[in-house]
């Protein structure tokens, strides 16, 4: 090798080394429960068809030329895992905004940037046999009635703040729907991206005995938040991924949701 060529190789080697380090697999934490159509399967193993949300985060990482290493985490461990840097990203709502170690995208006013988030709704499933009026307002209907949520749901406090009685909460969606079927609760509130995302799953599993109230309980938003450590080390990369989510990511997620919903 000529001396001049050797100098060039030596000069660019650190650049290539940095690029590789910047794109080590991104650890993305999400709950270890079955939440169709977003997160499929239970336990630590990521199934071959992992759900629309899991596929979205893979594309999210790919938008910066990286791979996502999916980590299934117990629901009550997700926020601490992100804050400590045990995982690099995780889905979070605004209740985690003040948590040290967790970073959200910010707008020019330094407020959480809603443009780089995913709109979500808290919808409520009820028994068809209860004949809940189609135009019923959930906040009014559930006065004096018990509404269930999954264990660790961040919107539990918000439901309580409007004066509704919240059930202790079973571990996963299936267990809560079973409590509803047995009339141990009067309704089950769950977070969805589009109000009808779980309709097919519930209709198939419960043969029409459980239905969704037409009006959501709340509207909310969800962010792919990052750890402070990861943001400090990879700021430009993180901002690029967040910008992708605000543009083509929203469209691709809609396509993924339709694919998974149609396949239920």
DSSP-based three-state secondary structure for 86: coil
Residue 196: its pLDDT value, please?
92
Q: State the pLDDT at residue 10.
A: 30
Amino acid 255: pLDDT:
94
C-alpha torsion angle, residues 195, 196, 201, 207 (rounded to 10): 110
**CA nearest neighbour of 35 among 147, 169, 175:** 175
Average pLDDT over residues 119-138: 96
pLDDT for res 185: 97
Q: Look at residue 12 in the predicted model and tell me its pLDDT.
A: 35
SS3 154: coil
Report the distance separating Cα 201 and Cα 62, nearest Å: 29
The domain segmentation of the chain, as residue ranges, is 23-117+222-262, 119-220
Q: What is the pLDDT of residues 82-95, one digit of tens each?
A: 999 999 999 999 99
Q: Which band of pLDDT confidence, cut at 50, 70 and 90, is reported for residue 264?
A: low
> What mean pLDDT value characterizes the chain?
89
Q: What is the pLDDT of residue 23?
A: 78
Quote the pLDDT of residue 257.
93
Same fold: 23-117+222-262 with 119-220? yes
- Read off the pLDDT band of 261 (50, 70, 90): confident
Question: Among 12-21, 49-58, 111-120, 246-255, which is the least confidently predicted range?
Answer: 12-21
Query: Is residue 168 very low, low, confident or very high in pLDDT (cuts 50, 70, 90)?
Result: confident
CATH code, residues 119-220: 3.40.190.10
CATH code linked to domain 23-117+222-262: 3.40.190.10
Query: Can you say whether the dihedral through the CA atoms of 43, 49, 52, 56 is positive or negative?
Result: positive
pLDDT digits (tens, 9 = 90+) for 131-160: 999 889 999 999 999 999 998 888 999 999
- Select, from the ranges 8-22, 62-76, 162-176, the one with the highest average predicted confidence (pLDDT): 62-76
pLDDT at 22 (0 to 100): 52
Helix (H) or strand (E) run with residue 73 in it:
strand 68-73
């Amino acid at each position: 090798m000529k001396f001049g060529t050797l100098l060039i190789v030596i000069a660019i080697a650190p650049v290539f080394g940095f690029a590789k380090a910047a794109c080590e697999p991104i650890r993305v934490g999400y709950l270890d429960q079955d939440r169709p159509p977003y997160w499929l399967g239970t336990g630590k193993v990521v199934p071959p068809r992992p759900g629309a949300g899991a596929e979205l985060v893979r594309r999210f990482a790919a938008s910066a030329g990286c791979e996502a290493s999916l980590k299934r985490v117990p629901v009550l461990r997700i926020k601490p895992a992100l804050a400590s840097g045990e995982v690099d990203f995780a889905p979070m709502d605004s209740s985690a905004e003040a948590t040290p170690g967790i970073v959200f995208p910010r707008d020019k006013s330094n407020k959480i940037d809603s443009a780089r988030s995913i709109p979500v709704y808290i919808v409520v499933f009820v028994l068809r046999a209860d004949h809940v009026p189609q135009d019923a307002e959930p906040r009014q209907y559930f006065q004096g009635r018990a509404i269930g949520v999954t264990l660790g749901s961040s919107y539990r406090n918000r439901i309580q703040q409007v004066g509704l009685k919240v059930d202790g909460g079973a571990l996963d969606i299936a267990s809560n729907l079973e409590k509803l079927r047995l009339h141990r609760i009067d309704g089950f509130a769950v977070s969805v991206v589009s109000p009808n995302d779980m309709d097919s799953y519930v209709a198939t599993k419960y043969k029409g005995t459980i239905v969704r109230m037409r009006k959501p309980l709340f509207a909310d938003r969800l962010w792919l938040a990052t750890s402070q450590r990861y943001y400090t080390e990879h700021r430009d990369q993180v901002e690029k991924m967040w910008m992708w989510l605000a543009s083509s990511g929203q469209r691709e997620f809609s396509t993924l949701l339709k694919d998974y919903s149609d396949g239920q």
